[in-house]
Chain A
């Protein structure tokens, strides 16, 4: 009898979980974290779990899409992936939250989650505490956006030894495919690590004729080249400011690495120009990059250079034609004169169809994440028009950004949540050329972002997963000396 009664109770409880609270009165807009209200999500993304922040005695959330209905009880709304898939398969989703207040149920204003085109399934980023100069805990991780699985591609703890530590950075894929990947390792067992066609290799791209090893990469889309910047980067600390630090270059140039020939040649290395952040157009015939001009390099260096006068460095956007057949370069053209509007432009990123260029605009320097006014701007490469992407920007720093392979999604770094910890947000590019409301990459635990004490750096999409394990990479990195490259004289004009 006892057993029967308990079964009956469970049955009744289960039955009561299928409907909505009766007699609910209309309420205001719900407050949820993260703010997933009225967003557009990729059709294949993991469920956007959230926390209802309003105070109430009970919560019921109802998701409706076509003939599919999902009901979740509780303040933490975590939608099982299978049910979420059913919802997205039906198209746009309407979400209604019911909150049980002291005097009965309140039906909060419903909001929508629209379903857009698919997104590349993987995003790779570097996890790093928002550190200043030490780098004892870094890892490059790959997240599967269609679920919540994340794996470490390489962590510097896998190499930490008594004789030093590693900094790891600048992971990059060719044309969104993980079968061609590279990242840098600095210091202990340093070098640029390549994973190409199932093989690992490690190179030291510093030559006697270049100022540093390779830094910011741009894979050529059609040929076996990678454009790199060479940078001499330093950091300094703001003594009394909400922006806590600055990273800056005291010198930088551009080089081209020819993978087939294993040779480096200079693209730009003028002494009074600080060239950086190369990026190719999809046809591989134009290289965009940024560069800051110093009128009097001797004076600049004599007064402490960028370490003291970083605010004087204003990077402009340039482009330069390139013939991939013979590696010859055309004239350099100024594309956007940011300095003339007392700004600095960085991180040019061109959409896969070659029609748009997304970049970061801030007051000065090459490292916008530390500048709260840093915003994303977009150029129409067809007519040269330019606009602030206000629908994405916040009053805190937006910085590194990448296009998805279909050109409909951007992922970008932002410090909008707390000004310090960088988070990655997604936004959908509509047909009218405007983006939808950005939202953070969904996490299993809605409060993840509040609790997590690492920043997400350099989010890069890839269509497929990285096929080499962290163990294999670490074993290779720690047992292989970097190969050298030769230096080629610059060709062309």
Chain B
């Protein structure tokens, strides 16, 4: 099972693992280490962050995690002395630990704790320490002293996990019939009392949390308040299972199972564990595509970014067809337009639709490769909401990437800092802050972040490369990614604020800001956005700028299609030269519209997309009211 888990992680979740790593940080830096130790559980957090960095190589990070999960399973069996007939029960908490990480989905972008991937399993292991130590001690007094000392020393290092370990010990001891009842009572009461008292007694040594939060220090934390309980639930259930196993250890030792009951318990435990993993594992395809595209964007691998998007679209061709056929069958049986409308609504979620983040990554990549005006409208569009408990604003998820790449570098820096404050430092924010400082030629500031990244294992080399660019404008301008960002920085400075709406802000920026000497790249982006927002007057304005700044051999097909459509809609006489193929396709579109009445845009979108999905006409009529987040 461990091998299967590792294979699934490496093959299906490598970009999730990358993202977990990218949003964490471990620095070999005394100040970093000291700061992390200022909260209870800081040591465990450091250990978690240390291990998280190895997710940079997903196979290695996944291997470490799987080994720790195996260790957690083995530790349950050994420490609780679980007889063979009950051993499958120990799989359940491990399944919960797995799902705690793998059900996170978009929550990964708003985790406050950088160590959340490894800490639960490490904490689970730590919580066995007091029990295994107590079992080795002979006298009552030594056990009592140890339990109190464990809390006093363990709480600062391991936080709540140290306390859970004490509770586990208390539960285990209380059911050991070979101990005198007075001893059991003394140990259990002492353990529970110290769990209650020690965090309060140590609180005055800290200034980093509320007293009321003392008993949850060290547990993973998320910045979206409504998500906290759901995010922690699997971990808390895993710890509760551990406590239950400890409490039931007496019965299990006394009455080992046999025969059918043994098989029943074993198979039920296996099935329950697998079911937990399969049901709660976050499998959303758009999320995984976003992660893969995000990785490619971070590598400035634009062709790969486009290919990932196209593959995602292609993956759904068959399922879209199936959904359409099923919908048709239902519509045939419908008796009223309202019923048809309901069916269309019901089936809409079965059709593939990209998120805005996917579309924006794709458009960015198309712009960077100068393919946007030919290809952007030939690809499927949409604005599917995140399949998520709460919608994570694009600003948190990918804001800094878009802002940097579109030359709004101060806005990129802003979101790096907001991210630091709301969530924490990460390799990602440090890298983007370096890039910001390098492009703005602020050598001292760049050096600050470069030094931090220099004290990492996997980003040291990259950081040193940036040092050479931080005060050499020519070298910077000639190297990637700066070479492809600088053309977008041709506008004059002005004051603005994105109000956490990244796409809307970018639209406003490109539509409202008119640089005195815009670069061809800037005008291409502005024209693409004018076409995206379907604003006819802005389109013609931006076409004019585009044709002025770009040495165009032939006008891109989508631009021709938009021009032809708009001139026929407004009949204002504004025209562009059109290729024969464009006029033919427009005529064909018109003929098709006349012969195939559109009942509702939603219903007709799919069949029209099969014929005209690669045209601007389709985008204009069927891609309306796209939402942004």
A134 on the B face (CB < 8 A): yes
Q: Does A244 contact B (CB under 8 A)?
A: yes
Q: How far is the CA of A245 from the CA of B210 in the complex (A)?
A: 32
Give which listed residue, A130, A162, A237, A474, contacts B228 with CB less than 8 A.
Answer: A162
Does A91 sit at the interface, judged by CB under 8 A? no
Q: Are B440 and A310 in contact (CB under 8 A)?
A: no
Are B210 and A241 in contact (CB-based, < 8 A)? no
Decide yes or no whether B442 CB sits under 8 A from chain A.
Answer: yes
Instruction: Note all chain B residues with C-beta closer than 8 A to A453.
Output: 420, 425, 448, 452
Q: Is the CB of B440 within 8 A of A242?
A: yes
A-facing residues in B157-212 (Cβ within 8 Å): 203-204, 207-211
User: Are B207 and A157 in contact, CB atoms less than 8 angstroms apart?
Assistant: yes
Chain B minimum-CB-distance residue to A417: B444
- Interface membership of B233, Cβ < 8 A: no
CA distance A293 to B496 in the complex (A): 24
A294 interface residue, CB < 8 Å from B?
A: no
- Closest-by-CB residue of A relative to B203 is A471
Indicate if B73 sits at the interface (CB-CB under 8 A): no
- Whether the Cβ atoms of A135 and B496 lie closer than 8 Å is no
Q: Which one of A213-221, A418-426, A456-464 contacts B? A: A418-426
Instruction: Given A239-B493, A240-B491, verify A418-B448 contact (CB < 8 Å).
Output: yes
Q: Are A129 and B495 in contact (CB under 8 A)?
A: no
Q: For the complex, is A478 an interface residue (Cβ under 8 Å from B)?
A: yes
CB-CB nearest in chain B for A136: B421
**Beta-carbon contact of B494 and A133 below 8 Å:** no
B509: interface (CB < 8 Å): yes
Cβ-defined contact, B421 with A134, below 8 A: yes
A159-B210, A162-B225 known; A450-B496 Cβ under 8 A: no
Are B448 and A244 in contact, CB atoms less than 8 angstroms apart? no
Question: Complex: how many Å from CA A420 to CA B420?
Answer: 15
In the complex, per-residue mask of A121-140: 1 if CB is within 8 Å of any chain B CB, else 0: 00000000111111111010
Name which of B316-324, B407-415, B532-540, B603-611 contacts chain A: B407-415
CA of A160 to CA of B225, assembled, Å? 11
- Known pairs A158-B208, A235-B497, A237-B497; A163 contacts B225 (CB<8 A): yes
Chain A's nearest CB lies how many Å from the CB of B233?
Answer: 16
Task: Please indicate the chain A residues that have their CB under 8 angstroms from the CB of B407 in the complex.
Answer: 240
A237 to B417, CA, bound (A): 13
Given A239-B509, A450-B451, residue A158 in contact with residue B207 (CB < 8 A) = yes
**With known contacts A469-B204, A475-B211, A241–B497 Cβ distance under 8 A:** no
Is A241's CB under 8 angstroms from B448's CB? no
Task: Report yes or no: B210 in contact with A131, Cβ–Cβ below 8 A.
Answer: no
**Mask for A157-169, Cβ within 8 A of B = 1, else 0?**
1111111000000
Shortest beta-carbon distance from A453 to chain B in Å: 7
Give the CA-CA distance A262 to B326 in the complex, in Å. 73
Query: Would you list which residues of chain B between 437 and 462 have a CB under 8 Å from chain A?
Result: 440, 442, 444-445, 447-448, 451-452
Contact of B332 with A by CB under 8 A:
no
Residues of the B chain whose Cβ atoms lie less than 8 Å from the Cβ of A240: 407-410, 489, 491-494
B301 within 8 A of A: no
Q: How far is the CB of A423 from chain B (nearest CB, A)?
A: 12
Verify B207–A470 contact, CB threshold 8 A: yes
Say yes or no: is B588 at the interface (Cβ < 8 Å to chain A). Answer: no
Residue of B nearest to A246 (CB): B495
For chain A, the count of residues having a C-beta within 8 Å of the partner chain is: 51
Task: Report chain A residues within 8 Å CB of B420.
Answer: 129, 131, 453
Residue B31 is within 8 A (CB to CB) of chain A in the complex? yes
- Is B497 within 8 A of A419, CB to CB? no
Give the residue of B29, B414, B447, B493 whose beta carbon is less than 8 angstroms from that of A241: B493
The CA-CA distance from A135 to B451 in the complex, in Å, is 25
Question: Is A307 located at the chain interface by the 8 A CB criterion?
Answer: yes
In this complex, what residue of A is CB-closest to B491?
A: A240
In the complex the two chains form, is B414's CB within 8 Å of A237's CB? yes
Q: Which of A238, A419, A420 contacts B493 (CB 8 A)?
A: A238
Which residues of A sit under 8 angstroms from B411, Cβ to Cβ?
A: 237, 239
Taken together as a complex, chains A and B put the C-alpha atoms of A478 and B209 apart, in Å, by 12
1/0 per position for B481-525, CB-CB distance to A under 8 A?
000000001011111111000000000010001000000000000
Centre residue among B425, B451, B495 by max chain A CB count within 10 A: B495
Whether B314 is near chain A, meaning CB under 8 Å from some CB there, is no
B422 touches A419 (CB 8 A): no
B418 at the interface (CB under 8 A from A): yes
**Are A155 and B208 CB-contacts (below 8 A) given A239-B494, A246-B495, A453-B448?**
yes
The one of A154, A238, A452, A474 that contacts B495, using a Cβ cutoff of 8 Å: A238
A68: chain B residues at CB < 8 Å are none
User: Is there an interface contact between B414 and A452, defined as CB atoms closer than 8 Å?
Assistant: no
Closest Cβ of chain A to B431, distance in Å, is: 15
A160 to B210, Cβ gap below 8 A? yes
Q: Which residues of chain A are within 8 angstroms of B497 by Cβ–Cβ distance? A: 235-237
Cα A159 to Cα B208 with chains together (Å): 9
Among B207, B225, B418, which residue has the most Cβ atoms of chain A within 10 A? B207
Contacting residues, chain A, for B495 (C-beta < 8 A): 236-239, 246, 307-308, 310
B422 x A134 contact (CB < 8 A): yes
Judge if A152 is at the interface, Cβ distance under 8 Å.
Answer: yes
What chain A residues lie within 8 Å of B447 (beta carbons)? 418, 450
Decide yes or no: A237 and B410 within 8 Å by CB, A157-B207, A450-B448, A470-B207 being known contacts.
yes
Interface string of B394-427 (1 = CB under 8 A from A): 0000000000000111110110011011100100
Which A residues are CB-close (under 8 A) to B422? 134, 136
Q: Which residues of A contact B (CB under 8 A)?
A: 129-137, 139, 152, 154-155, 157-163, 235-242, 244-246, 307-308, 310, 417-421, 445, 448, 450-453, 469-471, 474-475, 478
Seed contacts A158-B208, A241-B410, A451-B451; 8 additional CB < 8 Å A-B pairs: A131-B421, A158-B210, A160-B210, A236-B496, A236-B497, A238-B495, A239-B410, A310-B495
The 4 closest A-B pairs by CB, nearest first: A418-B444, A152-B207, A241-B493, A236-B495
15 contacts between A and B (CB under 8 A): A131-B418, A132-B417, A136-B422, A139-B207, A155-B207, A235-B497, A239-B411, A240-B491, A240-B493, A419-B444, A450-B447, A450-B451, A451-B448, A453-B452, A471-B204
